[in-house]
Amino acid sequence: LPQAPRRLNLHHGSGNMDIKQELKAEAGRLGFPFAGVTSLDPPPHLDTFEAWIAAGRQAGMGYLADPLSRQKRADPRSVLPAAKSILSLAMPYAPSGPPAVEPATGRVASYAWGTDYHDVIPARLTQLADRIEARLGCQVARRAYTDTGPILERSLAQRAGLGWQGKNTCLIHPQSGSYFFLAELFLDLDLEPDEPFRSDHCGTCRRCIEACPTSCIREDRTLDSARCISYQTIENKEPIPHALRPQLGNWVFGCDICQQVCPWNRFAHETPIEESFQARPGVPAPRLLDELRLDAHGFNQKFRLSPVRRTKRRGYLRNVCIALGNAGHEAAAPHLLNLLDTEPEGFIRGAAAWAAYRLDPGIALPRLEQAAGSDPDPLVREDIRITLAG
């Protein structure tokens, strides 16, 4: 649209509320049932974030400690100097179900069952901003994020009235739980902020803290990322520490445990789920032995437009091997040992050796002893030596 000769005055009067309500209604039509407006003041949980960074709890996610990134998180105005308000939005995804009963089956966090939200939500945010421009008859400076920019999304969402930050660190909506994506639109519209969500409805409940297999949830409502199953199976680009491997269970991408046990999810109202986020066949509970056969082409085909592609094949099959090692399915041991001869990625060979030894030490021992001295990758040889050492 052509630039209007002068901006509409939304600072005072009923026009402010009308535009805000129209924005929320339009957001609802675009798949965001929860929407709230907040200011560009520093986020309320900034001190907690800074203390978390100072303690090194971000593990290998060094970008979180970047000085410029931290400056923008501390001052949302620096994200878009022209902005006057932030529209905080939430789009639901399918809640996680019970584990599959079939043996040697993996688990994928439910947010990754369908299309990658990075390929869905930004386009909706653009549509929303375009429609408000059409309504106003002038251009609106905007910047859109969905887990893609240097802002404290949950903190801003709480201040916009969408819910509270639970002990498991997820934002929890009082009627709909925590299975939703967050998104933000920075706008140069002076909209009246909504009331923050001030109540904490976690109370004395500790289900998420006690259910976490790796004890990564801290008392200050932060995570020790290095111990988090989601971090290890997605963000960690190195071999997973041996001490944590048995506690990963059969999770091959992400983890939903702290959300599954939360009473606010168990008794949440049902909300419509975007078709894009509905489960694809074979993704929520993959058959682990079948996944071992995925070559690069097969992986790319199966997880095209899926969040799982983030791990790349090497990370995903590393996770599959560890899940097999935890499955107690001894028949998988020969298949894992076969990878020591056929798999070009040393990253995967080390995990396969660990899993085979865990399932059937008798069969695996001689092959691992051989590989510990002959594998061409020194990191694999070291990984195998750690496995043999106990």
pLDDT tier at 14 (50, 70, 90 boundaries)?
very low
Annotated catalytic residue 147: yes
Nearest to 19 by CA among 190, 139, 142: 190
For the segment 47-89, what is each residue's pLDDT rounded down to a tens digit? 999 999 999 999 999 999 999 999 999 999 999 999 999 999 9
Nearest to 104 by CA among 350, 365, 380, 322: 322
Give the rounded percent of residues in the chain with a pLDDT score beyond 70: 95
Catalytic residue among 147, 200, 220, 295: 147
pLDDT tier at 18 (50, 70, 90 boundaries)?
confident
Q: Judge whether residue 37 has pLDDT over 50.
A: yes
Contacts for 375 with CB less than 8 Å, ≥ 6 apart: 340, 346, 349, 381, 384
Mean per-residue pLDDT over the chain, rounded: 94
Stretch among 1-15, 80-94, 112-126, 359-373 having the lowest mean pLDDT: 1-15
CA distance 27 to 141: 18
Residue 230 CA to chain centroid, in angstroms?
Answer: 7
CA atoms within 13 A of residue 360's CA, in its CB half-sphere: 14
The pTM of the whole model exceeds 0.85: yes
CA distance 350 to 384: 6
